[in-house]
Amino acid sequence: MTDASPVIRLRGAGRTFGGHRALHDVDLTIRAGERVAVLGTSGAGKSTLLALLNGSLEPTTGSVEVFGENPALLSGPRRRMLQRRIGSVSQDLALIEQVRVLHNVNAGRLGQWSTPRALASLVWPRSLGVVRDALDRVDLGWALHERTERLSGGERQRVAIARLLVQAPELVVADEPVSSLDPVRAEGVLGLLGTSPAVRTLVVSLHQPELAGEHCTRVVGLREGRIVFDRPAADVGDTALHDLYALT
Ligand SMILES: Nc1ncnc2c1ncn2[C@@H]1O[C@H](COP(=O)(O)OP(=O)(O)OP(=O)(O)O)[C@@H](O)[C@H]1O
Ligand SMILES: [Mg+2]
């Protein structure tokens, strides 16, 4: 069941990089409670689309609204307030490599803390119980005091998920959050994102259509920067997937 309020509204949103058009005039409305997978080949524009949603990128044409605001145009406290409601996992994970895992997980709370409190936490870590609990949920309880740079790709990916669990945002925008995980752990992480009571709305890019079918309510297929289908997950058949991934 979804309620009526749109969390995301893109109208004619496009993005070019130099002369290259990565995204063409995308119209997309996502409502509270929806779990949307974005599928498409490498280079189809998934990361570009997701970056428009979390405000890390501005559209070159059209408009983007998240919770009624254009994230890329906000600054100061209003931007921080919006960012607190959006949890992001970027494809590069955006972890600080040189610090211990617990600090990266605690970074999920930076939006809720004052600057002095956040800085003090680097010396005297706060809320260790919450951090430990989030790490336990991604099977990384043992890594609390490890240096982040020593972890494997899949372990680092799970640290980024733990950071998200600590933030408990209303909207999660996750760009290939399970790309380095084995199949069982990928299931586990998507299950966490799908069932976490705090996460009301999810937009996730994936390279595994079967995971999209299992964990999402709706699937958007992107091809060469355009939406080629947008339908309930149950209605995405083999033909649509074949056309989406066919090499030109
Ligand atoms: N910062 C950038 N500068 C120049 N071109 C870019 C930039 N970011 C993306 N592009 C180009 O835009 C297109 C879409 O890229 P994008 O990263 O959104 O694809 P993707 O679907 O996320 O691919 P992947 O599955 O490999 O992550 C690609 O052709 C890419 O080369
Ligand atoms: Mg990408």
User: Running along the chain, 248 residues long, what does each successive block of 10 average in pLDDT?
Assistant: 77 95 97 96 96 93 95 85 90 88 87 67 74 94 95 93 91 93 90 78 95 95 97 93 86
Q: What angle do CA 181, 37, 191 make, to 5 degrees?
A: 50
Q: For residues 70 and 51, what is the distance between their CA atoms, to the nearest angstrom?
A: 12
Q: Whose CA is nearest to atom 29 of ligand 1?
A: 43
Q: How far is the CA of 34 from the centre of ligand 2 (A)?
A: 21
Q: For residues 29 and 27, what is the distance between their CA atoms, to the nearest angstrom?
A: 7
pLDDT score at 121 = 66
Q: For residues 129 and 214, what is the distance between their CA atoms, to the nearest angstrom?
A: 31
Spatial contact of 38 and 206, defined as CB atoms under 8 Å apart: yes
Answer whether 0.75 is exceeded by the pTM: yes
Q: Is 90 in the pocket of ligand 1 (CB under 6 A)?
A: no
In DSSP terms, which residues pair with 37 in a beta bridge?
204, 219
Q: Is 47 in the pocket of ligand 1 (CB under 6 A)?
A: yes
pLDDT score at 90 = 86
Handedness of CA 191, 193, 195, 201 (dihedral sign): negative
Q: How far is the CA of 177 from the centre of ligand 2 (A)?
A: 11
> Which atom of ligand 1 sits closest to the CA of residue 207?
25
Q: Compute, in degrees rounded to 10, the torsion defined by CA atoms 150, 151, 157, 159.
A: -80
